[in-house]
A and B are shown apart, each in its own frame.
Chain A
Amino acid sequence: MKLLIVSRFDRSARAINTIAKYAKLGKSLGHHVSLFSEPIGDVPDVPTSREPKAFDYVMFVVYETPDFPDLPYLAHLLDEVPRERRIIVGCTGRFNETIHVEYDFNHLEKMDNHQGWEWIDGFAAVAKTILQPTLAPVRSDAHGFLFHGFDPAAVERHYDTAGDAALAWARNGTEQKKYGLVYVGNNWQRWSQMRSLLQKIEPIKQSIGPICLVGWAWDYRPDWAAELGVQGIDTDSVMLQQIGVEIKGNISFDQAIPFISQARFCPVIHRPLFNQLGLVTNRTFETFCSDTVPLLMIPDQMAKSIYGPGASLLTVGEDVAGHIQDVLRRPEEYWDAILKTRAYLADRHSFQKRFEELSAILEK
């Protein structure tokens, strides 16, 4: 398959890691994947092209409107590739009626002046095939396609047995790992869950180790959010200081796995909207590549359907502190679950699988 991906390039946000995987792993699987762009010097693994005619399909990966190119590029794409060969992966549930979950939403006119219906009309005008990274799309004219995937080769540190893993992890926990818990991701619609997590682990923070949040707007609420009255990117710098949370700015997508591997624990948190729609992200899978214990903070049913039965032990309920203390007491059992989940992800959610699923959808 010759696939041209169209999306705004950003080294530290959205689907750049997944797109890079499609380019790199697609090549090894006999596909040719490029990003619609001028050459990007510091990402040599991602080929670029401005020649849509040379591809079988054009895949728009859309989070927000700037993911579509400006004119005249958009017109060239529309002119040169028929709608039947254009695909949209709507990563944030835009192709739905307007939904509000807590402070989260899939359309917000005051941010981009596009009304909800425009997302549905617009997507339908651009592409015949509309995909959403969920197992259960709400609309019948959207196809479920998880898009993101797990790359076993990207696993930071391989272990033969859970015992080896637990031993290494426990030793690193006291001697080498820099952090007790890190989260890498931007503070967009995640604060309510992060606050809850931090409050719950605060009493045992000494036994966890240093905590670090990496990404955009963990330490301030942007002025524009206040001006527009947009909630969901709140923060509480006093609370973060009291707990001793270290804040770091964005890191490049290729630094996420090694950075998370410096921590004993890493939460997997999805936006409230994503939890409701069952949407997955790059981090849903990538976290399992890091040398860390994932704390699955997504709905049980979703965790089960994505990660398989082995991950049930990794799902964190209300008692986060109790869960972490249990991991510290019985690391081998948890690492057994992690290794089983990695194997499950490699079997069910590899990028090879994604290409097969995509081909099957397109052949229909």
Chain B
Amino acid sequence: MRILFVMDQRADRGSIQCISNYVRAGDEGGYYIALYGRTDPRFPTVRFSTDVGSFDFVVFLVESWRQWMSALRMPRILAEVPRSRRAIVDADGMYNPIVSTDSYDRNDPYEQIRQEWLSHYRIVADKVFQPTFTPRDPGVRKVLFYGYDPSQHISPASAPPKKYDILCVGHNWWRWRQISRELLPAIERVRPYLGEIGFVGSWWDTIPAGAAELGVESAFGTDPEWLQRLRIQVRPSVPYTEVVKVMSTGRVNIMTQRPLFRELKILTSKYFEIFSADTTPLVMIDSDHAEIVYGPAGRELAPCDGVAEKLVDVLHRPKRYRDLVEEVRKHLLAHYAYQNRVQELTAALLRE
């Protein structure tokens, strides 16, 4: 089977790592998988194609923006691939009723915008998948989509030197509330016991130009003075090919998730790539959900309460947590390998 993904690819954000893994896992399993476009040095691990008509299915990977599905890209696809062979992976939960968490994060601001999304989706494809265990809309099918790639795993022997005790690799996109209410107060309490701390990603110390015009200023809340006071080093984002290596420079890596995704239990690339790094991941999600995704050991790595104590404990008892992480990796290998994901995706595409 031949599958062509179409997305708004960026080297330092979004789901490009996942697409790279699909390409590789597809090759191993006898599937030909590519991303729409031409070979691009920024994406050395991705196969590209513009031969739209030669693919059995075209899968649009859609996040929070749809303007990239522009007239420069869509007409050929719409003309050459019938709607029945087109699908959408709704990665940000746009195909839902309006979901607003604490009047802060939301999928759509109001009903008219939601209807525009739905009418857009109806034209693009007749299958909509979401990377969650429990889609809310009856028209959506569960396809977990993201997975674990053991070949990315960095062993302690090959890992770069540890520069940080605590590292948070990701962008400040709707994450500030969780960071400011849960993580930073915890760090503040135990700061003398922690070494270097780094936030690697975009918008931790600045709000991007144009955020206010687009009405998404609140997605970029930040407090640079507080970060400075806590001696948190802010570093720019890195390309997807460097993410696991950079994570491996931290003894502990924190995974946060935007509130909407926590509410909808949406999976992302980060859920899995953080376990490829030579680090102890602490995933700031519900412990029940952590257990569903990561197995029983995952609960121990989800510090819903007692974040401060957990940070100190991980640094003081590294072997215990290394064992937990190994348990999770075994679980992920058994249940979330990309070979499984490819088969699940193809099965979903073939299902009427």
Contact = CB atoms under 8 A, between A and B. Distances in A.
Nearest to A75: B123
B68 A224 contact: no
B208 interface: yes
A30 interface: no
A122 B75 contact: yes
Contacts of B72: 65, 68, 114, 118-119, 121-123
A125 B38 contact: no
Given A65-B67, A72-B123, A118 B73 contact: yes
A113 B70 CA distance: 11
B123 A71 contact: yes
B74 A71 contact: yes
A78 interface: yes
Contact of A125 (B40, B66, B75, B120): B75
Interface string B32-57: 00000110100000000010000000
Q: How large is the interface on B (under 10, 10 to 19, 20 to 34, 35 or more residues)?
A: 20 to 34
Contacts of A121: 50, 72, 76
B75 A223 contact: no
A72 B117 CA distance: 10
Contacts of A113: 8, 10, 68
A65 B71 contact: yes
Interface string B69-99: 1111111101100000000000000000000
A117 to B, nearest CB: 6
B209 interface: yes
A66 interface: yes
B192 interface: no
A71 B120 contact: yes
Interface in A183-206: none
Given A114-B72, A121-B72, A125-B76, A71 B124 contact: yes
Interface in B114-132: 116, 119-120, 122-124
B345 to A, nearest CB: 23
Nearest to A74: B71
A115 B208 CA distance: 23
A298 to B, nearest CB: 29
A230 to B, nearest CB: 11
Q: How large is the interface on A (under 10, 10 to 19, 20 to 34, 35 or more residues)?
A: 20 to 34
A226 B209 CA distance: 9
A121 B72 CA distance: 7
B306 interface: no
A227 interface: yes
Nearest to A78: B75
B53 to A, nearest CB: 12
Given A72-B120, A224-B210, A125 B79 contact: yes
A222 interface: yes
Contact of B71 (A68, A72, A224, A226): A68
Contacts of B67: 65-66, 70
Interface in A57-115: 60, 65-66, 68-72, 74-75, 78, 113-115
A7 to B, nearest CB: 12
Given A60-B71, A122-B76, A222-B209, 20 more contacts: A65-B70, A65-B72, A66-B67, A68-B70, A70-B66, A70-B67, A70-B120, A74-B75, A75-B78, A78-B75, A78-B79, A114-B70, A114-B72, A115-B37, A122-B71, A122-B75, A123-B72, A125-B79, A224-B210, A226-B209
Interface of B: 8, 10, 37-38, 40, 50, 66-76, 78-79, 116, 119-120, 122-124, 208-210
Lowest 9 CB-CB distances: which A-B pairs, in order? A122-B72, A223-B209, A68-B71, A224-B209, A125-B75, A125-B76, A65-B70, A71-B120, A75-B123
